[in-house]
Amino acid sequence: MNKIARVPKKGAGRRLAQKLKELGQQKPPQTLIDKINGDEKKKVAAPTPSASKDVEI
């Protein structure tokens, strides 16, 4: 059985180019960035509650 041959869809190349451009502009994986920057061991500390400035009456 003969395959049905494809015909290009108009604008297909530009659509592909846009998709590839958007993919290429993504931020890299954060874990990799952190490893290279030596940030992977820093952990976000639980915020220390600040001393109350309320005045006791």
Q: Which residues bind another protein (CB under 8 A)?
A: 2, 5-17, 19-21, 23-29, 31-33, 35-38
Closest distance between another protein and the C-beta of residue 38, in Å? Answer: 6
Give the residue with the Cβ less far from another protein, 7 or 55: 7
CB-based contact 16:24 (threshold 8 Å): no
40: Cβ contacts below 8 Å, ≥ 6 apart: 31, 34
Closest distance between another protein and the C-beta of residue 23, in Å? Answer: 6
Closest distance between another protein and the C-beta of residue 46, in Å? Answer: 26
CB-based contact 31:40 (threshold 8 Å): yes
